[in-house]
Amino acid sequence: MPSNNWELPPMFSIQDIPFSYRGSWLNISPVVAEKTYADDLHLVSHQTGLHPVLRFTPSHLDATVVATPALLTWQHETGRVELAYEGPDTIRVRGDGLGMRIAAAAATLTPFSGTYLYRDPVDGSHVFTSYETGRRYRLTVLHGELAGSDGVQALGAADRGVTLPAGQPWEIAIEEYEAARRPYASTALFDDLVRAAAAAFTAFVDAVAPWRGPQTPAAELAAYVLWSATVAPAGFLTRPAVLMSKHWMDKVWSWDHCFNALALAAGQPELAWDQFQLPFDHQDPTGALPDSVTHSEVLYNYVKPPIHGWALGRLRRQLSTLDRAELTRTYDRLARWTDFWLAARRAPGHDLPHYQHGNDSGWDNATTFDGDRVVETADLAAFLVLQLRCLADLAGELGMPTTSWAVTADRIQAAMLDQLWNGERFTARSAETGQPQASTSLLDLMPIILGADLPADVSAALARRIETHLTAHGLATEPVDSPHYTADGYWRGPIWAPSTVLIEDGLRRAGHTDLADEISHRFRALCEKSGFAENFDAETGTGLRDRAYTWTASSYLILAAAYELRGSST
User: What CATH code is carried by the domain that includes residue 332?
Assistant: 1.50.10.10
What would the pLDDT profile of 310-339 be if each residue is shown by its tens digit? 999 999 999 977 899 999 999 999 999 999
Note whether residue 204 is domain-resident. Answer: no
Same domain, yes or no, for 163 and 266? no
pLDDT at 413 over 60: yes
Note whether residue 377 is domain-resident. Answer: yes
Last residue of a domain, one of 168, 198, 228: 198
The neighbouring-strand residues paired with 375 are 355, 430
pLDDT at 32 over 90: yes
> Tell me, what's the pLDDT at 3?
45
List the strands of the sheet with 51-58, edge to edge: 26-33, 36-45, 51-58, 100-104, 161-164, 148-150
Note whether residue 17 is domain-resident. Answer: no
How many other CB atoms are there within 10 angstroms of residue 409's CB atom?
Answer: 22
Q: Can you tell me the distance from the alpha carbon of 545 to that of 35, in angstroms, rounded to the nearest whole number?
A: 7
> Tell me, what's the pLDDT at 95?
98
> Tell me, what's the pLDDT at 36?
96
Domain enclosing residue 298, as ranges? 239-568
> If we measure between CA atoms, which residue out of 487, 484, 460 comes closest to residue 473?
487
Q: How many domains does the chain have?
A: 2
| CB 230 within 8 Å of CB 337 | no
Q: Can you tell me the distance from the alpha carbon of 562 to that of 568, in angstroms, rounded to the nearest whole number?
A: 10
How many other CB atoms are there within 10 angstroms of residue 315's CB atom?
Answer: 22
| Cα 320 → chain centroid | 25
Note whether residue 312 is domain-resident. Answer: yes
Burial of 218 (0-12, 13-18, 19+ CB in 10 A): buried
Q: Can you tell me the distance from the alpha carbon of 27 to that of 248, in angstroms, rounded to the nearest whole number?
A: 12
> Tell me, what's the pLDDT at 570?
57
pLDDT class of 567 with cuts at 50, 70, 90: confident
| CB 67 within 8 Å of CB 2 | no
Same domain, yes or no, for 171 and 320? no
Q: Can you tell me the distance from the alpha carbon of 330 to that of 260, in angstroms, rounded to the nearest whole number?
A: 18
Same domain, yes or no, for 109 and 59? yes
Beta strand residue intervals within 159-287, DSSP E: 161-164, 170-177, 230-231, 241-242, 252-253
- Under DSSP, the state recorded for 272 is H
Same domain, yes or no, for 527 and 395? yes
What would the pLDDT profile of 288-298 be if each residue is shown by its tens digit? 999 999 999 99
Same domain, yes or no, for 287 and 169? no
Q: Can you tell me the distance from the alpha carbon of 109 to that of 171, in angstroms, rounded to the nearest whole number?
A: 28
Last residue of a domain, one of 147, 172, 198: 198
Cα separations in angstroms, 475 against 198, 219, 425, 502:
36, 21, 17, 11
Note whether residue 307 is domain-resident. Answer: yes
Same domain, yes or no, for 515 and 464? yes
Helix axes 219-228, 190-208, angle to 10 degrees: 110
Check which CATH number belongs to the domain holding 171 and give it: 2.70.98
> Tell me, what's the pLDDT at 1?
33
Same domain, yes or no, for 531 and 462? yes
| Mean pLDDT for the chain overall | 96
3-state DSSP of 421-456: ECCCCECEEECCCCCEECCCCHHHHHHHHHHHHCCH
pLDDT at 4 over 80: no
Note whether residue 517 is domain-resident. Answer: yes
pLDDT at 244 over 80: yes
Same domain, yes or no, for 176 and 295? no
What would the pLDDT profile of 495-519 be if each residue is shown by its tens digit? 999 999 999 999 999 999 999 999 9
How many other CB atoms are there within 10 angstroms of residue 528's CB atom?
Answer: 17
> For the chain, what percent of residues have pLDDT higher than 90?
95
Radius of gyration of the chain from its Cα atoms, rounded to whole angstroms: 25
What would the pLDDT profile of 113-138 be if each residue is shown by its tens digit? 999 999 999 999 999 999 999 999 99
Mean pLDDT of 362-372: 97
pLDDT at 2 over 50: no
| CB 110 within 8 Å of CB 130 | no
Strand 79-87 relative to strand 90-96: parallel, antiparallel, unpaired?
antiparallel
Query: What's the CA angle centered on 226, arms 251 and 539, to 5 degrees?
Result: 85
Same domain, yes or no, for 149 and 256? no
Note whether residue 214 is domain-resident. Answer: no
Q: Cβ neighbours of residue 343 under 8 Å, at least 6 residues apart?
A: 286, 287
For the ranges 4-8, 253-257, 408-412, the lowest mean pLDDT is seen at 4-8
| CB 418 within 8 Å of CB 449 | no
Q: Cβ neighbours of residue 113 under 8 Å, at least 6 residues apart?
A: 106, 131, 132
Same domain, yes or no, for 187 and 243? no
Last residue of a domain, one of 133, 165, 198: 198
Q: Can you tell me the distance from the alpha carbon of 301 to that of 463, in angstroms, rounded to the nearest whole number?
A: 34
Mean pLDDT of 53-62: 98
Note whether residue 229 is domain-resident. Answer: no
Helix axes 513-530, 550-568, angle to 10 degrees: 130
Q: How many CA atoms lie within 13 A of 331 on its CB side?
A: 22
Mean pLDDT of 170-179: 97
The neighbouring-strand residues paired with 110 are 113
Mean pLDDT of 276-283: 98
Q: Can you tell me the distance from the alpha carbon of 478 to that of 475, in angstroms, rounded to the nearest whole number?
A: 9
Same domain, yes or no, for 362 and 246? yes
> If we measure between CA atoms, which residue out of 123, 125, 127 comes closest to residue 115?
127
pLDDT at 524 over 50: yes
> Tell me, what's the pLDDT at 10?
82
Same domain, yes or no, for 175 and 319? no
